[in-house]
Structure formats: C-alpha cells, structure tokens
Structure 1
Amino acid sequence: MSLLPIKRLIVVGSILVFSIGTARAQTPSPEAMAAARDLVTTLKLSDQYKALLPVILLGLKPALVQDRPEIERDYNAMMPTIADAYTPYYNAMVDGIATVYANSFSVDELHQIAAFYRQPVGQKFLGKSQAILQQSAQIGEDTGRKAAEDLKTSLTQALRQKGHKL
C-alpha cells in the first residue's frame, strides 16, 4: 500500500474521531440516519474504513512480532479472528460519519446527494476523486514551496537593505 492512501485513511479516521464528539450533540432522526448511511455506502466511505484494518495491523505487527518468526506465524494465523473483532469499530465509524452527514444535511438533501453519486457523472467523480485530490495536494505543496522560496528571497533582500547581515 502506498503512502498517499495511508495518509488519506489516517485523515478520514482523524476526521471521524474529531467529529464523533460533535455528532453526539444532536441526535438525527432514524430517517436521516438511514439516508446518511445510504450516502456513506454510495460514497464508498465504508470501503475506506474497511481498508483501515490492514493499515492498523501493519502498524502493530513490528511491535508485537519483534522479528521473531514464531510470533509472526501466530500473528498471521490470528488475522481472521481479528477481522471479526474489528466489526464493532467499523460499525462505529460508519455510524459516526453517517451522523455527521445526517446533522449536516436534510433528509431530502441526503437523498439528492446520493442520487447524484449514483449517476454516471457521480460515479466518474468518485472514481477520479482520489487522483484529483492527490494532484491538487501536490499543486498546493509545490505552490506553497515556491511561494516560501520567493518570500524568503524577498525578505532576505529587504533585511539586507536595512543593513542586516544574513
């Protein structure tokens, strides 16, 4: 797994963790929650949450296995049961993000958003959004780096004109 998807999963997980406290402030109606869960499924967010388990296990493995083959064998053998133990956390993540959506949009809006993402253009957007986000982030990083370099040069020149030795 490359680093960018891992970062995205960490960001999604972080957003969820910070949003759960906010989401508890309001209790959405059952109809709103059903519409929000449908949207979460349509957006394939639940697939992203399912992908967190291997990332978590990969992060835990070095600390637990400690380069010992006998522990690694047992660790690997335990993976199917670990997946079952993860289910409550997975369900909590889906419910938490659904609550955020349910508190942010009306039931009608949730249905409209889900309908958009079910259309070919919505599916195309979902399919391309990861690459677009990565490219956009790269553009932001490149532009920020260039701006910082230019600002440093300008500020250095201005400070030198005032007699400072840099």
Structure 2
Amino acid sequence: MYKVLTIIVCAILFTMGLARADDPSPAAMDAARRLVTTLRVTDQYKVLLPGILFSLRPVLSQDRPEIERDFDAAVPAILEAGQSKYSNSMIERAAAAYAANFSADELHAIEAFYGSAVGQKYTGKSHELSEIGRQIGDEISREATDEIKAQMTRLLRDKGHKL
C-alpha cells in the first residue's frame, strides 16, 4: 500500500527534478522528516526486511541444519538492527528529496493533509486504488492491442499480404 504511494511521490519528485542549487534549509529538512514519518515510508521496508533475510537463508545455509539453526537464531537481532539502521537512512534520504523540492510551508501543508482523517483514508485506500488503476490499464491495453491488431491485419490483407 505504501509502496505504491511512495513510488507515485518519488515519480512526481523526479519529474520535478531532484536537485536544487542550494541545500535545503534546516526548517525544510525538519518538515520533510515529519512528512516522511507521517507517510510511514519506512513501513514498506520493515515488511520487506524479513523476506530479504529469509531469501538469504538457503544461500548461506546450503541445506546444512546447523547453519540453518544458527541463522534462525540470529534473525531477530539482525531484524532489529537492520530496521533501525536502514529506516533512519531511508527517512533521511526521502526527507532530503522532499526538502529539495518543496518549501517548509509546502511540506507542512502536505503533512497536514496526510495527517488528517482524509489523508489517512487516502493512504489506506491508495494501494487498492493503485491496484484498480493497474487493472484498468491492463484491460485497456489488451483491448487496444486486440483492436490495433485487427486493424493492422485488415490493412495488411487489403495490401495483398497473406497472414
């Protein structure tokens, strides 16, 4: 859910151009950190980290039970350390991207929206809406492909080609 929202926001930021000539002000960075926290950008990472770890399990353990046992025992500590370390890094990088593209006042306005009941509802529904949008895009693409294929087939046959 948040992944799609983050992707959309990042796409918007990239289309606007990530870098300004000046570094963002401390006020903009503070506002951006609060916004990133409100958006729960790190939640997607926290969900993915266990999968990342367990995808490493077969590679590292090589089907050796003693290694699997030690690997499994180490997972909680690695999860805790990894979530903190990489979550902080994600917050700082995302905040820098937001602060480079929006003023402190704009960031406060965005945070106010996402912190509101409507913003929270939007955040909660954004994954579902994105999925519906993807499905609509897939359906329209299939319809367009079928129609264009039929048109091209007729055109080529009219020109004497055997298909």
Q: Give the alignment's TM-score, normalised by structure 1.
A: 0.80
Counterpart CA distance in 2 for 1:9 and 1:51 is 15
Deviation at 1:96, TM superposition (A): 0.8
Name 1:165's counterpart in structure 2.
Answer: 162
Output the amino acid matched with 1:68.
R
Q: CA distance change for structure 1 residues 62 and 135 in 2, over 3 Å: closer, same or farther?
A: farther
Deviation at 1:8, TM superposition (A): 5.1
Deviation at 1:159, TM superposition (A): 1.0
Output the amino acid matched with 1:140.
G
Instruction: Answer yes or no: is the 8 Å Cα contact 1:32–1:107 preserved in 2.
Output: yes
Aligned residues: 157
Counterpart CA distance in 1 for 2:120 and 2:5 is 20
Q: CA distance change for structure 1 residues 63 and 24 in 2, over 3 Å: closer, same or farther?
A: farther
Deviations 1:45-99 (A, max 9, x none): 1212222312321332232233333322211111122124423322111111111
Instruction: Answer yes or no: is the 8 Å Cα contact 2:6–2:41 preserved in 1.
Output: no
Instruction: Answer yes or no: is the 8 Å Cα contact 2:42–2:91 preserved in 1.
Output: yes
Q: CA distance change for structure 1 residues 11 and 120 in 2, over 3 Å: closer, same or farther?
A: closer
Deviates more, 1:74-83 or 1:99-108: 74-83
Q: Secondary structure at the match of 2:36?
A: helix
Superposition map of 1:129-148 within 5 A:
129-148=126-145
Q: CA distance change for structure 1 residues 122 and 77 in 2, over 3 Å: closer, same or farther?
A: same
Show structure 1 runs of 5+ residues with no match: none
Show structure 2 runs of 5+ residues with no match: none
Q: Secondary structure at the match of 1:51?
A: helix
Q: Secondary structure at the match of 2:73?
A: helix
Q: Give the alignment's TM-score, normalised by structure 2.
A: 0.81
Instruction: Answer yes or no: is the 8 Å Cα contact 2:4–2:130 preserved in 1.
Output: no
Counterpart CA distance in 1 for 2:125 and 2:4 is 15
